[in-house]
Amino acid sequence: MTQHVDVVVVGGGQAGLAAGYHLRRQGLDFTILDADPAPGGSWQHMWDSLHLFSPADHSSLPGRLMPTQPGEVYPDAGHVVEYLADYEKRYDLPVQHGTCVDAVRRDGGRLLVEADSGRWRARAVVSATGTWSRPFLPAVPGRDDFTGRQLHTVSYRRPADFAGQYVVVVGGGNSGAQIAADLALYGDVTVTWVTQRPPRFLPDDVDGRVLFDVATARRRALEEGRSDTGGVASLGDIVAVPPVRAARDAGLLRVRPMFSRLTATGIQWPDDSRSDADAIIWCTGFRPALSHLAPLGLRGSRGHVATAGTQAVGEPRLHLLGYGDWTGLASATLVGVGRTAREAVRQVTGLLR
């Protein structure tokens, strides 16, 4: 049976919930379809020691301040999951968990959303599927030769899983730094952290609050025709969260430039010397999870859908929310997505009315 609604939101993480909040306020008839069986989006899959890089009151969705977590300035991922679950309930958002959308296609004057458990005809679709389900692994020579364990950030849980092992962590971003620090501080793991260029730590007093302010100032400058302030990237890549700072200051973060290939038993460096490894952890980022949009034929050469703000250029009934700055300033953060969601819903409402 096909159901009829004004709007289908695909994805019920923070971006989908922020969209739901604004759709509810506009009085639209909508449903949120979410592949995960439980609330919390990707936060429910993060590693055990992960904490936010902003305090709770700077990590809130529209309408409801995130409560502080007792004993923690920077809440952990479990606290975010509780907050999102409560948010879903508090605003009575119609999220259907455990529903994976396979395809969105044009169907006369409507968009047809096909999921594993049903079909919806909608006048507009907001896609908010995040990036967690599309881990990116670079093409590195010998990757298939390595006989040890290879995993991506998405599968890392805790250092005890690597006790007594030699582990190579690849990637110079926040995930790489935090996982390398997590392993190094554990004490019973030998870690080598490999980065393409020397790690660029942000100043120790810079956290998510400062990053958001810097990004906002840059956007304002550009909008007002002033010169580019350089934004967040000009400051560095890695937020020096407390465990990263601790591992760095204790000299536990052994950093080496990128290796040239994997071997059966480890890695080979550019000078042809070799190191054995039990595991390689690829902290090499993500790509937007957009395969459900393939029938619409909107993807450009770099895999992105061209957007004006959040609206797909080739399909005005489709909005993309939360994948990165290309769908709105800081729209892949808790504090940033609300503003972008409000604007997306304003446009959807205009289109439907």
Task: Report the nearest approach of ligand FAD to the CB of residue 332 (Å).
Answer: 5
**One of 7, 8, 9, 13 touching ligand FAD (CB under 6 A):** 13
Q: Which stretch binds ligand FAD (CB under 6 A): 28-36, 190-198, 268-276, 296-304?
A: 28-36
Task: Give how many residues touch ligand FAD by CB under 6 A.
Answer: 34
Binding mask 75-104 for ligand FAD (x = CB under 6 A): -------------------------xx---
Q: Which stretch binds ligand FAD (CB under 6 A): 34-42, 158-166, 187-195, 218-226?
A: 34-42
In angstroms, the Cα distances linking 120 to 7, 10, 105, 116, 127 are 9, 11, 11, 11, 14
Place of tokens 């739901």: 20
**One of 33, 180, 277, 348 touching ligand FAD (CB under 6 A):** 33
Q: How far apart are CA 102 and CA 290, in angstroms?
A: 10
Residues 276-335 that bind ligand FAD (CB under 6 A): 289, 292, 322, 332-335
Q: Which stretch binds ligand FAD (CB under 6 A): 29-37, 103-111, 252-260, 270-278?
A: 29-37
146 scored as a contact of ligand FAD (CB under 6 A):
no
Name every residue whose Cβ is closer than 8 Å to that of residue 59 and which is 6 or more positions away in sequence.
Answer: 52, 66, 75, 80, 208, 333, 334, 335
- Which stretches within the chain are classed as H helix? 14-25, 77-90, 174-186, 208-223, 242-249, 334-352
Residues 149-178 that bind ligand FAD (CB under 6 A): 175
Q: How far apart are CA 172 and CA 201, in angstroms?
A: 10
Helices vs. strands in the chain: H and E counts, helices first: 6, 17
Regarding beta strands 30-34 and 95-97, do their DSSP bridges make them parallel or antiparallel, or are they unpaired?
A: parallel
End-to-end CA distance of the chain: 26
Given the rule CB under 6 A, which residues bind ligand FAD? Answer: 10-16, 33-36, 41-43, 52-54, 59, 100-101, 128-130, 132-133, 175, 208, 289, 292, 322, 332-335
